[in-house]
Structure 1
Amino acid sequence: MQLLDELPMIYAATALVFICAETKNGPQGRLFPIGLASWLLLTTLFVSITGGKIQFYTFQASFGILQLAIIYFTTTLHQGQKPQIQALGMQNESTWLIRRAIGVYAFAVTIWLIDLHLCEFVNGVGSESVLKWNPQLHAWWHVFSSTGVYFTTLLVAYQHYIAKGLRPSMYLWNGFAPALTLDASSVLKAAKKLH
């Protein structure tokens, strides 16, 4: 069951790395996606057939490398796209998205580390716990890490749209969840370029 938690995290992060790399550097040809798919296959097999600390550290290393790659790509794209966004007279919403993605994800990792290393002191069970109730930290880790992934996905999409010459903007869907929309005139211009 742990693999059903961890492997989708690796798959989603790999998809974001692929989009970021192609957004920053243009199409990478066939070898890049084949290399990523091969790496995913090997990681899936290795994580599936091992257990204990080997499995734990393999997942952590793989996911950590992917996260660092996403941070690298999104921050360099952010810096590189600033002049283009200013020239279009747009508000640079990627700054807001970067802050939210990193902030929420850092909070989630903090919760996860507390749960991982201090569980017996904060789980509300047993004589060593300083709490009288269980705050369900692992469940909150999932909620906040998923929220961080959502903000990261919005950021990657925003940067991809900018790179394609479109004009994305953010709005609150149902007054609650940040979402992206595209300026219709920029979509029409992009479509005309394809023809």
Structure 2
Amino acid sequence: MIIPPIFGAIQSVRDGLEKRYIASYLALTVVGMGSWCFHMTLKYEMQLLDELPMIYSCCIFVYCMFECFKMKNSVNYHLLFILVLFSLIVTTVYLKVKEPVFHQVMYGMLVFTLVLRSIYIVTWVYPWLRGLGYTSLGIFLLGFLLWNIDNIFCDSLRNFRKKMPPIISVATQFHAWWHILTGLGSYLHILFSLYTRTLYLKYRPKVKVCSLPRSVCACVHACWGGGGYWEDGTEMGEASGWKGSRESTGFGTRCP
């Protein structure tokens, strides 16, 4: 949740992608760093660094999803204002009431908005994106479900683990699964959003899964190339003036 999005942001800069996608990657990194700091210290301040960026990053994701079908580099100031105001209200209220349920409900509202928007896209706009769209949503929602189960049945799960063998006890650490699944689901969601956006801009996007040499992890990444045309007949290129086929990955590596 920390390192891969950094490479994604770097590659997005290199490819001249819109700043909101760079912000999406960096927001995911901030969430990962906040969660890391909180679980190392278990301090209230670090808990805020973990939980509040979850709200902010989801607001960025919502903005990206609702701006997928606009002209390149357009800015929706009305939607920006609403999301910034929402973030400020949630932050202010949460600092005063210190009620975890409030944070969970607000976060759930944002996730629900993303779910509805994603379903709309894969149902009515780009049905062939159902695989990526439903995979990202399914992984994320599974993590979200396990997180809530862990919150609600924490005491019962602790007692259950005491009676089970170590391997089963580890497998029922739903909070750990929450971090793994939502981190992966969020990363895939950014790729889904990028895929949708680049399809609209006629960049011929592709999504590949590959194992990287000299790496212990597999990568999931999006590849896209130029070749689309604007209404005046001019070819779509990136900010650098590049034309033709290019492959770019969320991990900052070329496709093998």
TM range (shorter): 0.7 to 0.9
CA distance in 1, matches of 2:146, 2:123: 30
Q: Does structure 2 retain, via aligned residues, the 8 Å contact 1:122–1:130?
A: no
Secondary structure at the counterpart of residue 183 of structure 1 = coil
1:105-164 C-alpha deviation (Å, 9 max, x unpaired): 2321332233223333333xx588432434232122111111111111111111111122
1:139 to 176, 190, 196: 176
Secondary structure at the aligned position of 2:68 is classed as helix
Q: Which amino acid aligns with 2:202?
A: G
Tell me the residue number matched to 1:191.
237
Query: 1:36 offset after TM fit, Å?
Result: 1.3
Matching residue of 1:35: 82
Determine whether 1:130 maps to 2:163: yes
Provide the rounded CA distance (Å) in 1 between the counterparts of 2:236 and 2:161. 62
Gaps in structure 1 of 5+ consecutive residues? 84-91
Given the two structures, how large is their TM-score scaled by the length of structure 1? 0.78
Q: Which moved more, 1:57-66 or 1:26-35?
A: 26-35
5 Å-filtered alignment, 1:1-195, equals 1-24=46-69, 29-51=76-98, 55-82=99-126, 92=128, 94-123=129-158, 129-133=162-166, 134-135=169-170, 136-174=173-211, 176-186=218-228, 189-191=235-237
Distance 1:76 1:107 in 2: 20
Deviation at 1:28, TM superposition (A): 6.4
The AA in structure 2 aligned to 1:34 is F
User: Counterpart amino acid of 2:237?
Assistant: A
Contact between 1:121 and 1:130, CA under 8 Å: does it hold in 2?
A: no
Identity of aligned residues (%): 21
Between the two proteins, the alignment pairs up a number of residues equal to: 179
- What is the alpha-carbon distance in structure 2 between the residues aligned to residue 117 and residue 31 of structure 1? 37
Relative to 1, partners in 2 of residues 1:127 and 1:172: Cα closer, same or farther, differing over 3 Å? closer
Cα separation, 2, equivalents of 1:22 and 1:100: 21
In 2 relative to 1, CA 99–31 (structure 1 residues): closer, same or farther, beyond 3 Å? closer
DSSP-derived class of the 1:185 partner: coil
CA distance in 2, matches of 1:121, 1:24: 47
Alpha-carbon separation, structure 2, partners of 1:152 and 1:9: 14
In 1, are the aligned partners of 2:207 and 2:223 still within 8 Å (CA)?
yes
Write the distance in 1 (CA, Å) between the matches of 2:126 and 2:85: 35
The equivalent residue for 1:89 is: none
Q: How far does the alpha carbon of each residue in 1:23-46 deviate from its partner, in whole angstroms, 9 at most, with x for none?
A: 246656422212211221121121
Give the root-mean-square deviation of aligned CA atoms: 2.7
Instruction: Report the structure, 1 or 2, having the larger helix content.
Output: 1
- Contact 1:168 1:180 survives alignment (8 Å): yes
Aligned AA for 1:169? Answer: K
Structure 2 unaligned blocks of 5 or more: 1-45, 213-217, 242-256
1:169 Cα offset (Å): 0.4
Q: Which amino acid is 2:62 matched to?
A: V
Aligned residue identity for 1:183:
G
Q: Compared with structure 1, are the counterparts of its residues 122 and 60 closer, same or farther at alpha carbon in structure 2 (3 Å cutoff)?
A: closer
